[in-house]
Structure 1
Amino acid sequence: MQKHILLLNICGLVLFGHAAASETEFKPSHWGQFIFENDAFGVLEPTDDGYSNGVGYAWGDSVVQGFDDIDMPAWIRAASDWSYINQGNEGQYSISYAILQGMYTPSDLDTEQLLTDDRPYAGVLLWQAKLRQYDDNVATSLALNLGVVGPASLAQQTQGVIHAIIDARDPQGWDNQLENEAVFRIESEYLHRFGQLALTDNVATDVSFYSQAGLGNLRSDAGFGLTFRIGSGLNETYASINPTASHSANPYAYMSDKGFNWMLFFSAYGGYVLNDITLDGNTFKDSHSVELINEQGQLSMGFAMRWGSWGILFSTLRGSDHFEGQISDTNYGAASISYHY
């Protein structure tokens, strides 16, 4: 009898342990996200020039409770250990990576000759690593972008494939694109969430102040803005707010909860741009360029959802002119789909 009781206890422990392990394994700890941007997504007067296309893939791990617990390469840890991101065990931390590609074209896509009065053809291919720290409705981030501009970005080939799929015009002037050049950008973000208001048990609103600054031959700028949101899960997602549509990350990508969440968001942003290689041309070589407008502003809006392991996001942006003599409006959208595993 005692042997039977002992056997039952052992079986119970095994089953309980297996169930607990299964429950632990069920919680997603990684995420991946495909990003697609196109000016044809613009809500008002969609075009096929300016910032024409953008594609990317981003990925990361679940949030951790201390800087030392972040799983990252030793060289990134050494470079960020002394920075403001390292707050020890205060707050929560996350790291994400991305491969991003952008394509920029002038308004006249049918001309093979150099268009001296319009923006240059430019392609950019980037690798990004981004660290976040957040606590008590305040979030900061530090990101490094490394890559190349020019034919080595393979932007011409990617745009050809995309335009063939969506049945758009094939730009004829890529022979005039910027020359190959290594590019970098270091960027910092600060966000303060305030004005939270619960509308129901699951739905709330909030407002966030956002500021950022970046430095590099890719782009150097600084600016600030405000974002208004309404939806669910806002307490867990404020740290990833960004008022631009470009390379938008689904804020629900950082949540481990597999339930249903949604949000609508509206943003206004203004900044001062010191340099932008896609407009200023190559740094160390003679190339086509246009006169950059330093003061720039933009409005954006969109929605995001998360249902189980899947998430989707769509946002659209409308901005001021980026260079003197700009013909078409700054107007494009971004869509992404994410998966948690």
Structure 2
Amino acid sequence: MNLSWDNDLLTGTDRGYTNGVRFSYLTDTADENDGKSARFARILRDELRFLPGIGTADSKQAVSLSLRQFMVTPEDITVEGPQFDDIPYAGHLSLSGTLWSWNADTITGFGAHIGVIGPESGAESVQKWVHKATGSDKPQGWGNQLGTDVVGGIQAAHGRKLLQAGQGGNIEQRLSVIGSGLRWYLLSHRFAGLVQGFRQ
């Protein structure tokens, strides 16, 4: 289990990227004999074996799961009305999972992401709670935050070791190349409502 948190509290400003928190978990490897997390990795490995780099004889597999929330706000959070000359209030909450497969020379990952932008992200209540606990200015403009949108995506990544120098147990140098691609999908609540209206 891993927790990462970043916040602009130390800089004393709320301009732009304001806060982000992520909880991450990495399962045991699929070749472990016991443990539910190893079994989960094994199931995904077997189901996705058709993907390149997954399930080869010399590789190990594990699954990473992440829950992430981040928010952005305008510079002056004491203003209640919209600030058309600055960025809007926005919150994002997402869940992602990635199956990783690696050996001594390569690493490959395939993942999926689902999340929501808008009030359902919980960003408003989190920022107000943090600012109250730290004695910071109360954010006044969350009533103008971006509306609800559902986002999702798929991701693929691959890395390969090009060069390694040094001996085991001593300082080693490695040169690797890593590439990744991400495809996002956006489902707006306004578009969904329009489609539902036509169906009626």
TM-score, L = length of structure 2: 0.77
1:98 to partner: Cα distance: 1.6
Please say if residues 85 and 132 of structure 1, whose CA atoms lie closer than 8 Å, have aligned partners that are also in contact.
no
Partner amino acid, structure 2, of 1:59: Y
Following the alignment from structure 2 to structure 1, what is the Cα–Cα distance between the partners of residues 156 and 135? Answer: 38
- 4+ runs deviating over 4 angstroms: 73-79
SS at match of 2:120: helix
Determine which structure has more spread, i.e. the larger CA radius of gyration.
Answer: 1
SS at match of 1:71: helix
| Alignment of 1:132 onto 2:100 | yes
| Alignment of 1:193 onto 2:154 | no
Cα deviation code 1:180-224 (max 9, x no counterpart): 222212111122234434389343333332222111136xxxxxx
Aligned residue in 2 for 1:295:
none
Report the more deviating stretch, 56-65 or 128-137.
56-65
Within the candidate set 76, 80, 83, 1:112 is matched to 80
Following the alignment from structure 2 to structure 1, what is the Cα–Cα distance between the partners of residues 134 and 178? Answer: 35
SS at match of 2:14: coil
Any unmatched runs of 5+ in structure 2? 192-200
Following the alignment from structure 2 to structure 1, what is the Cα–Cα distance between the partners of residues 27 and 121? Answer: 27
Give the number of aligned pairs.
187
Percent sequence identity over matched residues?
A: 25
| Alignment of 1:36 onto 2:5 | yes
Any unmatched runs of 5+ in structure 1? 1-31, 219-281, 287-341
Please say if residues 70 and 93 of structure 1, whose CA atoms lie closer than 8 Å, have aligned partners that are also in contact.
no
Partner amino acid, structure 2, of 1:37: D
1:133 to partner: Cα distance: 0.8
Partner amino acid, structure 2, of 1:210: I
| Alignment of 1:56 onto 2:22 | yes
1:75 to partner: Cα distance: 8.7
1:82 to partner: Cα distance: 2.9
Please say if residues 30 and 41 of structure 2, whose CA atoms lie closer than 8 Å, have aligned partners that are also in contact.
no
SS at match of 1:162: helix
Please say if residues 124 and 149 of structure 1, whose CA atoms lie closer than 8 Å, have aligned partners that are also in contact.
yes
Within the candidate set 125, 136, 141, 1:173 is matched to 141
Please say if residues 4 and 23 of structure 2, whose CA atoms lie closer than 8 Å, have aligned partners that are also in contact.
yes
Please say if residues 85 and 131 of structure 1, whose CA atoms lie closer than 8 Å, have aligned partners that are also in contact.
no
Over the residues paired in the alignment, what is the CA RMSD in angstroms?
3.1
